[in-house]
Amino acid sequence: MTTMKEIAERTGVSISTVSLVLNKRDAGRVKPQVAAKVRETATQLGYRPNPLARSLRTSKTSILGFVSDEIATTPYAGRLILGAQDAARALGYMILTVNTNGEADLEEHEISTLKQYGVDGFIYARMFNQRTTVPESLLSLPTVLLDGTDDTGRVPSIIPDEEAIGYEATRHLLDAGCRNIAYVGASDRAYAADSGRRAGYRRALREAGLETDAGLEVGTTFNQPALDVVGDLFDARHPDGFFCFNDARAWYVYESAARRGLTVGRDISVVGVDNHRIFAETLAPRLTTMDLPHYEMGYWATLKLVSLIERRTPRIDLPHTTSPLPSLDDHDARIRCTLIRKESVV
């Protein structure tokens, strides 16, 4: 690791001068020839500043703390983190990831450890959109809530536009010709996204001139009880289209259909929000799935956080994305889910 001192010695100037040049603070303060020489030897020696020493002086580490409760249990957590890290790299930041295993005291401990390491701000991430109380201990630093809905509205948050998701999914089924469309949701109230998606589903039906009907809306848990609920829905209402809260629910529809001799993609249409990605390998192309824009959400959370930290809006270029981008100035940025794979709805 080459230091400013070495550059100073090789160039025959003082460390101060090197610092000035390398921090681009030489506007009419250092002779251009000297500056050029400094820069030259710097690149020649492969100089990279020591962020730790710098932060000792500036109390600014360019490190972001990423606090999440259950990194391990959901597969798409990775995309959240990936997006956050890509944005961080683009903006010159690193991310220190920490998980709390859902334990409050461990969470406090990890947060204070992160503060010790001098993080410049926090991303507080949930793994699905749920009502969340941001820990008091975070509020002393810039904080962004990711994939969660803040109870108190004190911190900005990045969440999927659940209503739009429900609307788009249902429109997709309507466009495919379905007229008797069911909603298979989550009965567990922890899934805050359920009500938004259901609302979007209803709006799409109303706009199409169809009646909403509570009998076509069910909520399930898992396994046999879920199969029972969906089976009853099949037998009582004979829907021709299903909007499923996630792919676990879609599977129950698929299974119930099979047991009745119906084929998804021919006799009935199914759109599911994909959480697990297993269907990309198995059921496709018989099922229409919508990807939640986790990558984009992670990316935008970092962008938002950095704009808070630096009190300026960073230049934006989000790679590989199809989602419409929210405004960084919104307190709560809702990201729409637009990616629909495997067009196979009848």
Partner DNA sequence: TTGTATGCGTTATCAT
Partner DNA sequence: ATGATAACGCATACAA
Q: How far is the CB of 309 from DNA (least distance, A)?
A: 15
Residue 245 near a second copy by CB under 8 A: no
Comparison of 68 and 170: residue with beta carbon closer to a second copy: 68
CA dihedral over 23, 25, 27, 28, signed as positive or negative: negative
What's the CA dihedral at 79, 291, 182, 202 to 10 degrees?
90
DSSP state for residue 248 in the 8-state scheme: H
CA-based nearest residue to 342, from 295, 276, 274: 274
Residue 50 near DNA by CB under 7 A: yes
Q: How far is the CB of 47 from a second copy (least distance, A)?
A: 10
Residue 23 near DNA by CB under 7 A: yes
Measure the CA–CA gap between 121 and 309, rounded to whole angstroms.
7
Residue 263 near a second copy by CB under 8 A: no
CA-based nearest residue to 324, from 168, 146, 176, 125: 168
Residue 223 near a second copy by CB under 8 A: yes
Q: Which two tokens stand for residue 58?
A: 């500036």
Q: Which two tokens stand for residue 229?
A: 């609920």
Measure the CA–CA gap between 63 and 24, rounded to whole angstroms.
22
Measure the CA–CA gap between 229 and 222, rounded to whole angstroms.
10
Q: How far is the CB of 165 from a second copy (least distance, A)?
A: 20
Measure the CA–CA gap between 288 and 316, rounded to whole angstroms.
31
Residue 109 near DNA by CB under 7 A: no
Among 32, 43, 104, 116, interactor with a second copy by CB under 8 A: 116
Residue 56 near a second copy by CB under 8 A: yes
Q: Which two tokens stand for residue 338?
A: 């637009």
- Is residue 125 within 8 Å of 67, Cβ to Cβ? yes
Residue 19 near DNA by CB under 7 A: yes
Among 117, 151, 189, 225, interactor with a second copy by CB under 8 A: 117
Comparison of 50 and 322: residue with beta carbon closer to a second copy: 50
Comparison of 93 and 167: residue with beta carbon closer to a second copy: 93
Binding segment for DNA among 4-12, 127-135, 192-200, 335-343 (CB under 7 A)? 4-12
**Core vs surface per residue 106-116: b (16+ CB within 10 A) or e:** ebeebbeebee
Residue 115 near DNA by CB under 7 A: no
CA-based nearest residue to 194, from 130, 141, 248, 237: 130
Number of amino acids touching DNA (CB under 7 A):
29
Among 99, 149, 269, 302, interactor with a second copy by CB under 8 A: 99
How many beta carbons lie within 10 A of that of residue 235, not counting itself?
Answer: 10
Residue 36 near a second copy by CB under 8 A: no
Report which secondary-structure segment, H or E, holds 138.
none
Estimate the crossing angle of helix 223-237 against helix 247-259, to 10 degrees: 60
Residue 44 near DNA by CB under 7 A: no
Binding segment for DNA among 9-17, 119-127, 151-159, 315-323 (CB under 7 A)? 9-17
Residue 12 near DNA by CB under 7 A: yes
- What residue ranges bind DNA (CB under 7 A)? 1, 3-5, 12-17, 19-20, 22-23, 25, 28-31, 34-35, 47, 49-50, 53-54, 56-58
- What residue ranges bind a second copy (CB under 8 A)? 1, 48-53, 55-56, 61, 71-79, 81-82, 85, 89, 94-99, 110, 112-113, 115-118, 222-223, 247-248, 251-252, 255, 258, 276-278, 281-282, 284-285, 295
